[in-house]
Structures are given as C-alpha cells and as structure tokens.
Structure 1
Amino acid sequence: MSLQRTLNLLVLLATLGWACWVTAGGNLLPLNGLVQTEEQPPGYLGRIELNNPDGVAAALRRAESFYHGEGMREEEIPPLVLVIHGSEVGIFFKENYSQYKPIVDLAAKLAAFQVIDIRVCEASAQLMGLDIKTRFPFVGTVPYGPAEITRLIEVEKYVYF
C-alpha cells in the first residue's frame, strides 16, 4: 500500500470517527468556547437585596438582563427561582395589581419565557390576610419562604444569582 493511500485512509477513518462521535452527542467545547471543568449548579436562586417592591423589581431586571445576555443561548439553564416572603408577597396577588403593575407585568413576561420561577410564602400571605387563591396563576407557593431558601441552598445546592 502506498504512503499516499495510507494517509488518505487515515484521514477518512478520522473523519468518520469524528462524525460518529458528534452524531452520538459528543461535545468538545460548549457553545461559548470555554472548557468547563466544574458542573453547572442545579439551579439559581434570585437574591432580593431590599425587602421591598424595589428589591423585587431589581431582581427581576437582573434576571431579564441575564436572559437577554446569556440565557437565550443556553437551553440548559433552568429558570431562576425567586422565593418571596414577608410583605413583598402582596405584589403577586390580584387585588394589588394596580399598585404593582410594572413589577407584575415584568414577572409575568419572564415566567412565560421560563426565565423565572416565582414562589410566594403561604405563611406570609396568611399573616397579611391574603387569600392564596387570588395570587396570579404564574406564581407558585411554598409553606414557609425562609425554609424553602435554606432547602434550595443546602439540600438542592442552588447558588445565589
């Protein structure tokens, strides 16, 4: 066998091997071109800096900015979880819509695009005299917000966003 024919055969075999590997789901580098040595966390927990409507709005804007920057390109990023407890739970109840319309509208849009997963504290809602049935349909509930935050961080290994 000639040297040229041997080289051609090796190139053909290498190309076929690579094509089979890619077809089977192989991935040399992620889409951003960076070699990842650590696994992605199972999820992200939104940090609300101020315990008031402005803090909730700021967290939503950070999530929206991330979505427009990185999140639209990454299909594997799960929705950012926002656990709302304390007086801020009132934002996500229908009877308060006119007061918090810009925040609710942004949250609804982000929830529709699966950028965020909002969960309100049932205990806080009850203390505020809110009927849990009147929350917006895109908002989930947890029995006690601080316990859910602890569970997500310590058990589920979420990281703050």
Structure 2
Amino acid sequence: MLGSFRWLSLFITLFLAFSAVANSAPSANGLVEGERQEVAGYLARIEKNNPEEVAEVLQRAEQFYLNEGMRQDFSPVVFVLHGPEVSIFFRENYLRYRSIVDLAAKLSALKVVDIKVCETQSHGLGLDLKTLLPFVGTVPVGPVEESHLIEVEKYIYF
C-alpha cells in the first residue's frame, strides 16, 4: 500500500511539474500565454537558403506592413542571410533576381526590413563586397549574428 502511494505521489508531482512548464512555454509568437511584452525586434527565419524563400519572407513582411505596420511603430524585420542566397544582393546578379531585389529595396527604404549578408559566405562564393547593393549591410559571420539577436538582444523569429 505504501509503495503505491509513493508512485501516485511521484506521478502527481511529475504531472504538476510538466503542467507548469507547458503552461509557461512560449507560444509560436515567442510570448508566454497571457503575457504582453515588448518585442526587441523580429528576425526573418530563412531555413531553405534559396531565393524563393527570401522572396516569400519579403512578401510576408510587406503584408505585415500593409496590414499592421502603417498603423504602429515597429523595428524593421532583420534578415541575416548566410547561405547561397546572399548572391541575390550583388550587382552582377541584379537582372536574375530583379523582382526580389526591387521588393527588398522598396521595403528597406520604408524601413520595413533591414537586410544583412554574411561576409564569410560572400567571400566563400567569390563575391566582392564592393559590388553589394547599397541598401544591404554586412555582418562578419551570419550564424553568430543570428544567435546574438535571438539570445542576447531577445529578437523573435518573424
């Protein structure tokens, strides 16, 4: 009898502990349920590292701006590109990626997005940073910058 009481007690303790963790876990938007907090900023989530994905996230940022952003003050969505997609934003590739570059330039001018490319990846692809389009910034190492924004600056993924 005493053994089954211990198991029941252990089960209840574990259940309550897991319930507490689940109830305080961040939701999909990075906020704890029922909690309102200021967001330090948004970081574009780029996982496939291809031009189509960059275009898709730029279009989502534009929709956000058209639906919400014009009515409120917000920080630009930061894009830290560190895969082969960095090549989109170099002059020699403008004709190939014109629609993406034009949308990015417009959103950058409106301060909806802030685009940065990884210097290390750019050099690795043989791209000269002197030919980087003027509205695009650089970071030395893209993954390090992403980690810094998420872990230190407390940005959340867009």
TM-score, normalised to structure 1, is: 0.75
Match runs of 1:82-161 below 5 Å: 82-161=79-158
- Cα deviations by residue, 1:86-133 (Å, 9 ceiling, x for unpaired): 110000000100000000000000000000000000000000010111
5+ residue gaps, structure 2: 1-33
User: What fraction of aligned residue pairs are identical, expressed as a percent?
Assistant: 59
User: How many pairs does the alignment contain?
Assistant: 125
| Residue 33 of structure 2 is aligned to residue 69 of structure 1 | no
5+ residue gaps, structure 1: 1-35
Q: CA deviation at 1:38?
A: 2.1
| Residue 37 of structure 2 is aligned to residue 39 of structure 1 | yes
Q: CA deviation at 1:41?
A: 1.0
- Comparing 47-56 and 141-150, the one that deviates more: 47-56
Cα distance in structure 1, aligned partners of 2:115 and 2:66: 19
Structure with max Cα Rg: 1
The 3-state SS of whatever aligns with 1:47 is: coil
Cα distance in structure 1, aligned partners of 2:79 and 2:46: 8
Q: What letter corresponds to residue 44 of structure 1 in structure 2?
A: Y
The 3-state SS of whatever aligns with 2:94 is: helix
Paired position in structure 2 for 1:60: 58
Q: What letter corresponds to residue 71 of structure 2 in structure 1?
A: R
The 3-state SS of whatever aligns with 2:95 is: helix
Cα distance in structure 1, aligned partners of 2:61 and 2:77: 7
Cα distance in structure 2, aligned partners of 1:141 and 1:116: 14
Paired position in structure 2 for 1:20: none
Q: CA deviation at 1:37?
A: 5.3
* CA RMSD after TM alignment: 1.2
Q: CA deviation at 1:49?
A: 4.0
The 3-state SS of whatever aligns with 2:84 is: helix
